[in-house]
Structure 1
């Protein structure tokens, strides 16, 4: 399985399955939109794309990817590139069959992982070995050619084509933001006060993108500024497992450890700066399933 794996000072690896992260991100995305942030066109398809952007990794859920040199499971940024292409490709096809617009966004998210997210986030791109670069470049080109036909099947002729394209890229921005926001809660403990700046993301179709500050308050509450959600607070749940941070003799050993680990349900809350000033948020809960 593809996983977020983080090390903390308690001697454990904290593990969040990739698809669980995807579903959690999709649940939060459905709260997008308020007086400052417009709910974009094709909103339901956008939310579906956020929810299922990592659905291709379900197939690997019974195979813990294992690094024989370290004796530990493989974190998501260290997955073999061709496995990465294969799993994301299957997910793209699956979502596209359900909802072509959502599939298009998943495809853009996938290709963006090899292209610094098309310039949206120049600090991030998947590590591409030199010998595989031509193959990946060819994949990027062929996928974008495929999207031409996909777009023509979705585009409503009564809608200006420029507006369709502009809205598509706005939805891509929101997908990237929701992915990173979910990564924040998947890779931190509730007592974090770490501050990250994410974006840019647009408030409305014609506006410039704004950067969004995300900062934990030390109790499972996260202040998001500016705040893009409709509810005063958005509660979300992350499913984690903890296994000892050690070198495991074999793939079978680490798989068994993960299978037997209790699943913990960790609750987080996203709030606006104003809500933080008005209230004293309750501490995050940790419940064993």
Structure 2
């Protein structure tokens, strides 16, 4: 869950709702400046389902007995974090191996500074769990070797396949963070995110994006990677920002909270 505090309330967006919203937006990727990626449908599926492993935890609500509040995604226990993403990875891979590979890369990247793509973000691994995580990271990546051999079209250079795969990974990361922007802010925000890099073509250098709210629900994305302005909806619930007596109490409060649909629009710079 994305959980932010505004005006005495906890604003809550479920992980899977966030990924579905990102998946809707990424289907607009591509214009004269940003190439339409190869394996596009698999890329869109990966973005849409990169957090599918969180459905059960979101529905049950992870509760912190110390804060007496629901737990945001970035403070979930590491072993639970691994379990949720691992299940999602396996589920997507069974449906679409290429999409599953991208979800697996997203998952493992969360413990490795996104493979150096975004050193500012990595999930903290407690010292006592470093050996476990090292083994998980290594073994998961070993499993990608056979998968890549099956997905690689032998008529093209292997390096080309890898370059396109990693470009698609860059797009998954960008879309994850872009969706986070509208999931954690209110419509009046003018906060700025710097995201990227993402390549415009498989042979180009990556570019950085400036993402900035205009205070009215419009969000300028510069440079603009989509085929047109993109309207998108965030599903949000609000519950009082208080200490809850039990997991059952916060669960019941969440169940009774109405789902609000907040409309945003991604637009190019003028």
The TM-score, its normalising length taken from structure 1, stands at 0.93
Q: Secondary structure at the match of 2:60?
A: coil
What's the CA shift for 1:266? 0.2
Residue in 2 aligned with 1:238? Answer: 234
Q: 1:52 aligns with which of 43, 49, 52?
A: 49
Q: 2:98 aligns with which of 98, 101, 115?
A: 101
Separation in structure 2 between the aligned mates of residue 271 and residue 57 of structure 1, nearest angstrom: 30
Aligned: 1:6 with 2:4? yes
Q: 1:251 aligns with which of 243, 247, 251?
A: 247
Unaligned 5+ segments in structure 1 are 275-289
Aligned: 1:79 with 2:53? no
Residue in 2 aligned with 1:136? Answer: 133
Q: Secondary structure at the match of 2:59?
A: coil
Residue in 1 aligned with 2:121? Answer: 124
Q: Secondary structure at the match of 1:235?
A: strand
Separation in structure 2 between the aligned mates of residue 61 and residue 109 of structure 1, nearest angstrom: 19
Residue in 1 aligned with 2:261? Answer: 265
What's the CA shift for 1:63? 1.4
Separation in structure 2 between the aligned mates of residue 183 and residue 249 of structure 1, nearest angstrom: 29
Check conservation: 2:15, 2:58, Cα contact below 8 A: no
Unaligned 5+ segments in structure 2 are none
Q: Secondary structure at the match of 1:125?
A: coil
Q: 1:35 aligns with which of 29, 32, 35?
A: 32
Q: 1:216 aligns with which of 208, 213, 217?
A: 213
Q: Secondary structure at the match of 2:82?
A: helix
Q: Secondary structure at the match of 2:11?
A: strand
Runs of 4+ in 1 over 3 A off after TM superposition: none
Separation in structure 2 between the aligned mates of residue 60 and residue 269 of structure 1, nearest angstrom: 29
Separation in structure 2 between the aligned mates of residue 62 and residue 244 of structure 1, nearest angstrom: 18
Residue in 1 aligned with 2:164? Answer: 167
What's the CA shift for 1:59? 2.3
Residue in 2 aligned with 1:115? Answer: 112
What's the CA shift for 1:147? 0.2
Once the two structures are superposed, residues 221-240 of structure 1 have per-residue CA deviations (whole angstroms, 9 ceiling, x without a partner) of: 00000000001x10000000
What's the CA shift for 1:268? 0.2
Separation in structure 2 between the aligned mates of residue 161 and residue 44 of structure 1, nearest angstrom: 21
Separation in structure 2 between the aligned mates of residue 30 and residue 214 of structure 1, nearest angstrom: 19
Q: Secondary structure at the match of 1:230?
A: coil
Separation in structure 1 between the aligned mates of residue 43 and residue 36 of structure 2, nearest angstrom: 10
Q: 2:145 aligns with which of 125, 145, 148?
A: 148
Once the two structures are superposed, residues 245-280 of structure 1 have per-residue CA deviations (whole angstroms, 9 ceiling, x without a partner) of: 010000000001100001000000000013xxxxxx
Aligned: 1:25 with 2:17? no
Q: Secondary structure at the match of 1:91?
A: helix
Separation in structure 2 between the aligned mates of residue 113 and residue 225 of structure 1, nearest angstrom: 25
Residue in 2 aligned with 1:177? Answer: 174
Separation in structure 2 between the aligned mates of residue 147 and residue 20 of structure 1, nearest angstrom: 27
